[in-house]
């Protein structure tokens, strides 16, 4: 009997496996998104992110040099160079001169190009295009090649997403707009909820129990039910669409959870500390600011994480209470939706924009995660 209390459960292995599976389900997509944000469009379209460190075989559409680079070699006009550019990259295993036959020729073979011209392509991308007549046009002919390309990573995706001059592509403005929405929408409900939670936990007044019951009831009310009536109220009192309206909306939707979480934590604080402070002549405001707030920091941090993540990732409230027609108040979630419409085929841009969007919430979560569990367990034990 003495050993029963210290005996481990036979389901411990199941718990460990479940934790590993949950961590993997969360980690793999995040790592994949991070790696994809540094890959080129060709690599993303031909292979998964797990193959990013290995040589990949790709079908490429390359061009020879334009006719302005041609030279004269006896009776022939010649254009020479490397299909991969100035620096050779990759190895060609097959090539062709038509989109319907992209693997008709092997490296070293010569293919006709029409009008007596012909082209020879080597495995390293070196080519020689020659013909009896002078080449014309603004661009050289296309060559379709199947090549083994080495791993390639670039920061150009981040440069295009964050610093491009286009309103539809730049995420920099949307990033600061999201901060403008998120920071006040996190601080304001915390301040209001802290005062309300202290009053509901330690102050005696008529109707306190009804207020607590109403707050609990508001936790289950879907915010979608209040969006249109609240927007009409904002328009009626002159607030309209703007930052003030979205701050008030997030504050109203976040207050029930904030008050409930903070009150449960404050109720669990030692009563002797508050009673001794009152005996010493401290007012309720002094007790709140000097004793309750410092002791309630884990709960405050826990709600701050929830509120920050919610407002940062929010799209619905932002679309309702912000004007996005001019792009001046567009948040990151809405900007990514716009990118899906305008750059739906550019997966490297979408992956970069998505990772920029989740980078700040990840940082906030990892910095404050130790307070999250302590705040969630508030009031569960005495």
Here the tokens at position 315 are 């799209």
- Bridge-partner residues for 81, per DSSP? 127
Longest CA–CA span in the chain (Å) reads: 109
In the chain, which residues have pLDDT < 70?
1-10, 86-89, 164-170, 324-327, 341-345, 371-382
How far out from the chain centre does Cα 15 lie? 30
Report how far residue 260's alpha carbon sits from residue 120's, in angstroms, rounded to the nearest whole number. Answer: 75
Q: What is the structure's pLDDT at 373?
A: 62
CATH topology of domain 160-376: MetI-like fold (1.10.3720)
Do strands 76-82 and 71-73 pair parallel, antiparallel, or not at all (unpaired)? antiparallel
Q: What is the structure's pLDDT at 7?
A: 60
Whole-model pTM: value is 0.70
Report how far residue 127's alpha carbon sits from residue 130's, in angstroms, rounded to the nearest whole number. Answer: 10
Q: What is the structure's pLDDT at 382?
A: 44
Q: What is the structure's pLDDT at 1?
A: 44
Report how far residue 93's alpha carbon sits from residue 106's, in angstroms, rounded to the nearest whole number. Answer: 6
Cβ–Cβ < 8 Å for 92, 123: yes
Cβ–Cβ < 8 Å for 355, 37: yes
Q: What is the structure's pLDDT at 312?
A: 92
> Helix (H, G, I), strand (E, B), or coil: what is residue 339?
helix
Q: What is the structure's pLDDT at 374?
A: 61
């Amino acid at each position: 009997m003495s050993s029963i209390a210290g005996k481990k459960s036979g389901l411990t292995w199941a718990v460990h496996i479940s934790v590993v599976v949950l961590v993997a389900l969360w980690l793999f997509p995040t790592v994949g998104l991070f790696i994809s944000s540094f890959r080129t469009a060709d690599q993303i379209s031909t292979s998964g992110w797990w193959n990013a460190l290995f040589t990949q075989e790709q079908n490429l559409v390359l061009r020879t040099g334009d006719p302005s680079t041609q030279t004269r070699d006896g009776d022939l006009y010649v254009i020479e160079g490397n299909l991969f550019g100035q620096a050779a990259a990759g190895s060609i295993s097959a090539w062709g001169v038509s989109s319907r036959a992209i693997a008709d020729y092997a490296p070293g073979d010569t293919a006709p190009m029409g009008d007596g011209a012909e082209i020879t392509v080597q495995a390293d991308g070196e080519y020689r295009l020659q013909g009896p007549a002078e080449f014309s046009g603004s661009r050289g002919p296309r060559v379709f090649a199947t090549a083994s390309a080495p791993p390639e990573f670039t920061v150009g995706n981040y440069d295009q997403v964050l610093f491009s001059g286009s309103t539809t592509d730049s995420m920099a403005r949307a990033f600061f707009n999201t901060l403008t929405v998120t920071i006040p929408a996190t601080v304001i409900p915390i301040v209001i909820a802290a005062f309300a939670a202290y009053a509901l936990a330690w102050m005696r007044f008529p109707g306190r129990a009804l207020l607590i019951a109403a707050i609990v009831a508001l936790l289950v009310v879907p915010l979608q039910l209040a969006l249109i009536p609240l927007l009409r109220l904002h328009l009626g009192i002159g607030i309209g669409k703007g930052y003030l309206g979205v701050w008030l909306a997030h504050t109203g939707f976040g207050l029930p959870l904030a008050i409930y979480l903070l009150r449960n934590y404050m109720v669990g604080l030692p009563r002797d500390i508050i009673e001794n402070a009152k005996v010493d002549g401290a007012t309720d405001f002094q007790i709140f600011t000097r004793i309750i707030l410092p002791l309630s920091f884990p709960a405050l941090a826990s709600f701050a994480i929830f509120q920050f993540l919610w407002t940062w990732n929010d799209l619905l409230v932002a679309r309702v209470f912000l004007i996005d027609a001019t792009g001046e108040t567009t948040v990151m979630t809405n900007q990514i939706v716009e990118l899906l419409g305008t750059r739906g085929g550019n997966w490297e841009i979408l992956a970069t924009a998505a990772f920029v969007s989740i980078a700040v919430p990840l940082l906030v979560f990892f910095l404050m995660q130790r307070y999250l569990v302590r705040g969630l367990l508030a009031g569960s034990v005495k």
